[in-house]
Each structure stands twice: as structure tokens, then as C-alpha cells.
Structure 1
Amino acid sequence: MKDVKELTVPSDFPRETMPGAVTGVQPKLLARLIDGEYVAGMTDAELHERYVMCHDLVEQLVAYCRRKAAENGGWTHAQILERVRKGTLQKAREWQLSDNEVKWLLGQVPKQLDWLVSAP
């Protein structure tokens, strides 16, 4: 893996807003005061941290897929990716991934492997 400081967040990586809810009738904007400025959503540093985590997960899942393909010659790429999808969805909350981050990383795995698999 590259040094994490060298990783650049790609344009297709999800930019999440900070989740939250505030009661009341009037519309509200959720923001945090950071270094004297109000920030709505993630800072660049927080976004980079999320990307580094997801990038690492993609690398781990790619290695897993390659290992399973070598160990189980009868499994198709689609079967391996389906196992990865199910496992990732089960672990997503434990790993503190947003729905959009899960979608992004599950799209990255077949791209990294250069596996063309049709959608179910």
C-alpha cells in the first residue's frame, strides 16, 4: 500500500454530510465550529481519513478474492464477488461504513481485479 499521505481522494469517492437530526419546525443547518470556522460536512482531513480506510478495505478484499479464486477453481468471479458483497454488508456497521462508502468499495473491487461481472 502507498504511504497514506500519498493517497489522493478520487472524485468518485462519496462525500458524506455529517449525519444528525435537530428537532423543531424551523429548518436547521448542522455545522461544527473548527478552528474558528463553521464546517458543514466533513473536513478535507476527515474525508482523506475515510478514503484511506476504504482504500485499505478494497486492497484487503481484492487479496481475498484472488486467494479464493486460486483456492476454489470451480467458483466463478460472480460467486466470489457475491460472497464479498454479503460479507461486507454484514460488517458495514461494525466497520462504520456509510451506505455510499459500501457501494463505492464494492464497485472498486471488480475494477481492481479487472473482473467483468454483469449485475444481477
Structure 2
Amino acid sequence: MGRQVIPEDFPKNDWLGAVSGAQPKLLVRQNGERYEGASTEEARLERYDICEDLAQQLAPYTRLKMSENCWSLEEALPRLEASVAKKVHNCQWDFSAAEVTWIMKRTREVLLVPVPQSPSQS
């Protein structure tokens, strides 16, 4: 099986931060039992998989909401983005702002692909 390719537009999570105090500090992230000082390609691939999966789940959910409420895509997406942002803000979901932006862009792309109709719907 070939290695999965991460799209060029997927955000790179370079951890930037500042911690006050006189002593020098090192910004790290815990990954299981290890602490890492920079995002690895493996960690980026994992984040990509999570974000892509969410976009694939949000697309049919958005289609359903559009159908139930007679919303256009342009009406539905801001509501969806607000809902995602609220879950991130309330610490229900762990995504960076750049990842949320990418998820919404990807969800739009998925929604723009026509859904094939089953023979019974024709």
C-alpha cells in the first residue's frame, strides 16, 4: 500500500508559544509517553486523517440540514462553521484555527461533488 499524500494546503502545525518567566522554556507536546518539540510528518498525517474524516462526516450532515431547512450552501456553511468553532471553543473538539479553516474548505469541496442518485430516485 502506498503512502498517503497530505495536500499542500493542509496546515502545518508549527507550535508557536511563549511562556513567561526568567528561565528559558521549551514548548513541547505530549504524544503518548513521549514529548515532542516539533510536529513530525507522522503526527501531521494523523491530523490530516482526522480532519479529512470530519469533513467527510460534515458533508452529509450539512446536506441533511440543507434539505430539512431549505438552506442554500451559502446559508448552511456559515452555520456549520459556527457550530464547529463553538465545539472547539468549548474544548469538545481539539482543532487549531487553521485546521478548522481547512475542514470547512474541504467540506465545501465535498459538498460540491454531485451525489449520484440511486435507480429508485430516478
Length-normalised TM-score, structure 2: 0.70
In structure 1, C-alpha distance between the alignment counterparts of 2:28 and 2:57, rounded to whole Å: 34
**Which residue, out of 95, 110, 113, partners 1:112?**
110
Asked whether the 8 Å contact 2:59–2:107 carries over to 1, the reply is yes
The corresponding residue for 1:118 is none
Q: Considering only aligned residues, what root-mean-square deviation do their CA atoms show, in Å?
A: 3.0
The residue type equivalent to 2:98 in the other structure is N
CA distance in 2, matches of 1:69, 1:58: 16
Give aligned pairs, total. 107
- The one of 83, 87, 92 aligned to 1:94: 92
Secondary structure (helix, strand or coil) at the match of 1:15 reads coil
State the AA in 1 paired with 2:112: D
Q: Distance in 2 between matches of 1:96 and 1:60?
A: 16
Quickly say closer, same or farther: Cα 1:6–1:59, change in 2 above 3 A.
farther
Aligned to 1:76: 72
Identity of aligned residues (%): 36
Which structure 1 residue ranges, 5 or more long, are not aligned? 33-38, 116-120
CA shift for structure 1 position 28: 7.0
Partner letter of residue 81 of structure 1? Answer: L
Per-residue deviation at 1:69? 2.5
Alignment CA distance shift 1:56-1:70 (3 Å): same
Question: In 2, are the aligned partners of 1:17 and 1:40 still within 8 Å (CA)?
Answer: no
Q: CA deviation at 1:41?
A: 2.3
CA distance in 1 between partners of 2:23 and 2:47 (Å): 32
Gap runs ≥5 in structure 2: 30-35, 114-122
Q: 1:69 to 1:6 in 2, by over 3 A?
A: farther
Tell me which residue corresponds to 1:51: 48
The one-character-per-residue Cα deviations of 1:19-61 (angstroms, maximum 9, x if unpaired) are: 44344579877468xxxxxx75200110011001101110011
